[in-house]
């Protein structure tokens, strides 16, 4: 079709042009109103009192180049392989199985299920077979190497492979399972040692790099940022959390900052699949160095203990006993003859300070105590029945077979409209056996008391921060309290003590 040969076509064309012009004009108006110029865009912000910053500097410029870091730190990173001697009942696993055993043991806390087998032909009893692989880094030029304790745990022989292709049989100087730090020694001189960084200068969001041997792939470099510092997982140390890709085999390798300094030891991953999922945990290098120094000097780490079992202080308990905020460590039990017992600590005390340092969380206490030299005399601040009290205590040594008890128990189940308790005075024999001066025995618990978790055989030691001597005093105290408000009760069950909050109107 040719428009020029059709009658009326020019008018059609004119209408089309007019409509097009109108649409263009409307579009221009809409675009100018919906997408204003920079000067116009600042007007609403100014009207709202938001300061405009048209010339604000760019905070992040480009991505970092890690090549110089790899060149500088790479030669200090080593690969570690471990072997195990074959026995008649060995399972004949190969290196791939060793990798899986490391994964199951470290990230699930259970061994890899297997069926025992007789030694296979070519793999006779007494011979070495691959057991696992890991990473490490050179601490000093005379051959000291740092890695994770779980990398060398259970190994018969440990071999350290350098980037210059040399391999040495290593001696395990010491390994500390509590912090997962191990120190090895190889007979070599003039080795390229790492530079230890200052963890205190590390910032969240800062770029960091890892070098290691994930799945046996030597000298693998990955990078990311620091996601969090002092991540508390309930263990003795607080971790550096990052999104650096770390997988089984990276264990023991260094976490490196942009200055080429080691700031951590890659130790754990949080994963549902067994592979990297964006959360890696590294041991801060300052904590690791302290452990390494003790391992090098004595082959073990010496820790302090005071002999208490503790639990967190919940918000409800803190409010009910007048503590103000949920802080400190609730003493659930005191071991006889321990420093805590000699210092006069009691079940139900809230330890709020140790050696002048505030206990924000229950787990702070065992960390501080463990880091205190045995024999040190120091002070505990406790909150007891509505008042603070200072106690003098001498820290003892934690034996290798002992474990500090810092168990977190769920708060008692709460409920109620009335107490529903049947009580009896403690006999002289019961007080002697329980090592108590007072308290009342629960003979039966129904209604709100039962729903709060109380049961027959429990001993009530205090009510509303006041120590209970006998049933008469208990009844007198109940007559004075507001029965419509929650009531805190300190209860002993066996060797443990715990606060229970009874809520009369809880549903």
Measured CA to CA in angstroms, residue 487 lies from 178, 385, 416, 446, 450 at distances of: 39, 14, 10, 16, 14
Residues 479, 486: contact at Cβ < 8 Å? no
The annotation status of 250 as a binding-site residue, yes or no, is yes
Distance in angstroms (rounded) separating the CA atoms of residues 477 and 25: 84
Pairing of strands 280-284, 496-502: unpaired
Measured CA to CA in angstroms, residue 464 lies from 83, 200, 321, 478, 483 at distances of: 60, 43, 6, 10, 12
Q: Where are the beta strands (DSSP E) in 426-486?
A: 440-445, 459-463, 466-467
The annotation status of 180 as a binding-site residue, yes or no, is yes
CB atoms within 10 A of CB 372: 17
The one catalytic residue in 76, 90, 93, 150 is 150
The annotation status of 251 as a binding-site residue, yes or no, is yes
Active site (annotated) includes residue 251: yes
Active site (annotated) includes residue 79: no
The annotation status of 109 as a binding-site residue, yes or no, is no
Measured CA to CA in angstroms, residue 226 lies from 136, 163, 199, 239, 240 at distances of: 20, 27, 12, 11, 7
| Token digits of residue 403 | 């474990």
Distance in angstroms (rounded) separating the CA atoms of residues 87 and 333: 45
Distance in angstroms (rounded) separating the CA atoms of residues 147 and 184: 8
Active site (annotated) includes residue 150: yes
Distance in angstroms (rounded) separating the CA atoms of residues 215 and 102: 10
Is residue 499 classed as helix, strand or coil in its secondary structure? Answer: strand
The annotation status of 264 as a binding-site residue, yes or no, is no
The one catalytic residue in 180, 287, 349, 364 is 180
Q: H-type helices in 36-129, by residue range?
A: 38-47, 67-73, 95-103
Place of tokens 């300190």: 490
Distance in angstroms (rounded) separating the CA atoms of residues 354 and 306: 11
Is residue 320 classed as helix, strand or coil in its secondary structure? Answer: helix
Distance in angstroms (rounded) separating the CA atoms of residues 352 and 356: 9
Annotated binding site for substrate: 150, 180, 249-251
Annotated binding site: 150, 180, 249-251
Catalytic center residues:
150, 180, 251
């Amino acid at each position: 079709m040719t428009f020029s040969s059709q009658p009326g076509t020019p008018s059609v064309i004119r209408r089309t042009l007019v409509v097009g012009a109108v649409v263009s004009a409307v579009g221009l108006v809409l675009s100018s109103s919906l997408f204003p110029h920079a000067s116009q865009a600042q007007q609403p912000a100014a009207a709202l009192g938001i300061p405009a910053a048209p010339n604000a500097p760019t905070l992040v410029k480009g991505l970092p180049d890690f090549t110089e870091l790899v060149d500088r730190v790479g030669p200090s990173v080593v690969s570690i392989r471990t072997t195990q001697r074959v026995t008649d009942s060995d399972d004949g696993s190969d290196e791939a199985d060793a990798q899986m055993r490391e994964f199951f043991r470290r990230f699930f806390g259970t061994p890899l299920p297997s069926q025992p087998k007789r030694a296979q032909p070519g793999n006779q009893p007494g011979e070495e077979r691959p057991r696992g692989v890991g990473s490490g880094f050179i601490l000093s030029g005379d051959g000291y190497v740092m890695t994770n304790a779980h990398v060398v745990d259970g190994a018969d022989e440990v071999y350290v492979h350098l980037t210059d292709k040399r391999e040495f049989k290593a001696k395990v100087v010491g390994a500390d399972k509590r912090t997962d730090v191990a120190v090895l020694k190889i007979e070599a001189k003039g080795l390229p040692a790492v530079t230890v960084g200052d963890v205190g200068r590390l910032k969240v969001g800062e770029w960091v790099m890892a070098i290691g041997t994930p799945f046996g792939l030597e000298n693998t470099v990955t990078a990311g940022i620091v996601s969090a510092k002092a991540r508390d997982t309930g263990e003795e140390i607080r971790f550096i959390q990052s999104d650096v890709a770390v997988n089984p085999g990276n264990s023991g390798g260094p976490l490196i900052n942009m200055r080429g300094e080691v700031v951590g030891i890659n130790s754990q991953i949080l994963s549902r699949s067994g592979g990297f999922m964006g959360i890696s945990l590294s041991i801060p290098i300052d904590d690791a160095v302290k452990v390494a120094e003790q391992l090098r000097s004595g082959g073990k780490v010496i820790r302090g203990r005071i002999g208490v079992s503790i639990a967190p202080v919940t918000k409800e308990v803190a409010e009910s006993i007048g503590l103000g905020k949920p802080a400190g460590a609730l003493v659930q039990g005191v071991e006889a003859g321990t420093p805590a017992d000699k210092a006069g600590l009691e079940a139900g005390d809230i330890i709020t300070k140790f050696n002048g340092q505030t206990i924000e969380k229950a787990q702070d206490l065992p960390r501080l105590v463990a880091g205190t030299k045995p024999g040190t005399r120091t002070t505990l601040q406790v909150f007891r029945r509505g008042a603070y009290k200072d106690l003098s205590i001498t820290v003892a040594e934690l034996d290798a077979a002992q474990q500090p008890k810092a168990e977190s128990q769920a708060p008692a189940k709460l409920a109620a409209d009335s107490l529903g308790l049947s009580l009896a005075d403690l006999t002289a024999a019961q007080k002697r056996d329980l090592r108590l001066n007072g308290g009342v025995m629960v003979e039966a618990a129904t209604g709100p008391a039962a729903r709060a978790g109380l049961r027959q055989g429990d001993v009530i030691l205090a009510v509303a921060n006041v120590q209970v001597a006998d049933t008469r005093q208990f009844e007198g105290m109940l007559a004075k309290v507001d029965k419509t408000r929650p009531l805190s009760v300190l209860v002993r069950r066996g060797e443990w003590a715990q606060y229970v909050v009874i809520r009369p109107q809880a549903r």
